[in-house]
């Protein structure tokens, strides 16, 4: 069984690490198993956890594309 760190899981599902941590702290996503290494407590994500997060993202996370502002500085500069 393969294990992943939080940063790698965020990259695999296509969200920022902060977004994933926000989901965890709000209780929207179940915490993975924790492993104590030295004095630090680490989240240990499995492949099953990654699949579960991908399914959660598909249902609950729709990132809207950004629109360009009408009066942006680049547009004003290029006209001059």
Q: Say whether pLDDT at 65 is over 80.
A: no
Higher pLDDT, 1 or 63: 1
Written out in words, the top-level CATH class of the domain with range 3-60 is: mainly alpha
Q: Quick check: helix, strand or coil at residue 68?
A: coil
Q: How much is the pLDDT for 30?
A: 93
Q: 8-47: per-residue pLDDT in tens?
A: 999 999 999 999 999 999 999 999 999 998 999 989 999 9
Other beta carbons less than 10 A from residue 52's beta carbon: 16
Q: How much is the pLDDT for 23?
A: 95
CA dihedral 71, 66, 26, 36 (to 10 degrees): -110
* Beta strands per DSSP E along the chain: 3-4, 33-37, 40-46
Q: How much is the pLDDT for 80?
A: 54
Six-digit token pair at 1? Answer: 């069984």
What pTM was estimated for this model as a whole? 0.71
């Amino acid at each position: 069984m393969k294990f992943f760190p939080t940063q790698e899981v965020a990259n695999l599902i296509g969200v920022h690490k902060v977004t994933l941590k926000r989901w965890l702290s709000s209780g929207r996503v179940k915490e993975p198993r924790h492993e104590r290494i030295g004095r630090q407590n680490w989240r240990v994500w499995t492949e099953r956890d990654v699949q579960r997060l991908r399914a959660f993202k598909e249902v609950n996370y729709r990132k809207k594309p950004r629109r360009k502002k009408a009066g942006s500085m680049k547009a004003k500069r290029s006209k001059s």
